[in-house]
Amino acid sequence: EPEVTQTPSHQVTQMGQEVILRCVPISNHLYFYWYRQILGQKVEFLVSFYNNEISEKSEIFDDQFSVERPDGSNFTLKIRSTKLEDSAMYFCASSEDGSNPVGFGPGTRLLVL
Amino acid sequence: EDQVTQSPEALRLQEGESSSLNCSYTVSGLRGLFWYRQDPGKGPEFLFTLYSAGEEKEKERLKATLTKKESFLHITAPKPEDSATYLCAVQAADTGNQFYFGTGTSLTVIP
């Protein structure tokens, strides 16, 4: 069964550094998402992406965040200048048509020191 | 105000002891309610989608039901391998394609 994959599985960075989290969505899916989960808290929506542009974003997704689909398979989340509070598990997800169940990747655990 | 509330926060069951998890929602124009299972350090794993009140879905020992205000995840004769956090998420007409998640119910099944 096709799965969403994410790299790296863990990333440790210094505050103020840029990080890029990578995802390969399920191949026939058209909607892509990033969610995050701070330890012990709920899964929170960051951004959705469709047709090569952001379709929705939350208040969390400020100017420090950006997303890109640089080729036909990868979907990336960039954090330009990381803050301590960016430490979280970041999940990539994809959906066939935006209303079907979203498949989640295994996550990237980001630790900002 | 939270749009999705799950209860209880944590539940400990003896193996074979059936119970139910609750997910209450306050969104308008529900497009879908989704149940996920999350194991520690892993991404949510899809279980069920419910679209309209009265709908029921079953998978092995799990059964999900939906009313106009809440959903229940019934666990019949649970086994230790059912131990996980169960997440409820909703998609609503006024929130586009994004999912709103509850905080989850952490289920522990004791052998």
Kindly report, residue by residue over A40-72, the tens digit of the pLDDT. 899 999 999 999 999 989 999 999 999 999 887
CA nearest to B90, candidates B56, B60, B49, B44: B49
Pick B15 or A28 by higher pLDDT: B15
The pLDDT value given to residue A58: 92
The pLDDT value given to residue B3: 85
φ, ψ of residue A21 to 5 degrees: the values are: -105, 135
| Residues within 8 A of A (CB atoms), B 41-70 only | 41-46, 49
Confidence label for B92 from pLDDT (cuts 50, 70 and 90):
confident
How large is the average pLDDT for residues B33-37? 95
Of A4, A42, A48, the CB nearest to B102: A42
Q: Residue B78 class from Cβ within 10 Å (0-12 exposed, 13-18 middle, 19+ buried)?
A: buried
pLDDT above 80: residue B75: yes
Confidence label for B2 from pLDDT (cuts 50, 70 and 90):
low
| Alpha-carbon span A61 to A45, nearest angstrom | 9
Q: Inter-chain contact A42–B104, Cβ cutoff 8 Å?
A: yes
| Residues within 8 A of A (CB atoms), B 71-100 only | 87, 89, 91, 96-100
Interface test with chain A among B31, B87, B98, by most A beta carbons within 10 Å: B98
Structure tokens at B63: 């059964």
First to last CA, chain B: 38
What distances in angstroms separate CA B40 from CA B44, B45, B84, one per listed residue? Answer: 10, 12, 7
Q: Inter-chain contact A45–B31, Cβ cutoff 8 Å?
A: no
pLDDT tens digit sequence for A5-43: 999 999 999 999 999 999 999 988 999 999 999 998 999
Chain-centre distance for alpha carbon B19: 13
What sign for the dihedral angle of Cα A84, A85, A88, A94?
negative
Residue that the structure tokens 């929602």 belong to: B25
Minimum distance, in Å, between the CA of residue A85 and any CA atom of chain B:
19
How large is the average pLDDT for residues B2-10? 90
| Alpha-carbon span A92 to A25, nearest angstrom | 8
A94 in contact with B, Cβ within 8 Å: no
CA nearest to B67, candidates B48, B51, B53: B53
Q: Inter-chain contact A99–B34, Cβ cutoff 8 Å?
A: no
pLDDT above 80: residue B91: yes
A43 in contact with B, Cβ within 8 Å: yes
pLDDT above 60: residue A77: yes
The pLDDT mean for chain B works out to 92
The pLDDT value given to residue A103: 87
| Alpha-carbon span B70 to B25, nearest angstrom | 6
pLDDT above 90: residue A109: yes
DSSP state of A24: E
Q: Inter-chain contact A56–B98, Cβ cutoff 8 Å?
A: yes
pLDDT tens digit sequence for A88-108: 999 999 988 877 677 899 999
What is B36-70 written as a DSSP string?
Answer: EEE-TTS--EEEEEE-STT-EEEETTEEEEE-SSE
pLDDT above 60: residue A79: yes
Residue B95: CB atoms within 10 A of its CB come to: 17
How large is the average pLDDT for residues B81-105? 89
The pLDDT value given to residue B1: 54
Pick B92 or A104 by higher pLDDT: A104
Interface A:B, Cβ pairs < 8 A:
59
A24 in contact with B, Cβ within 8 Å: no
What distances in angstroms separate CA A58 from CA A5, A35, A75, B32, B82, one per listed residue? Answer: 23, 10, 18, 20, 33
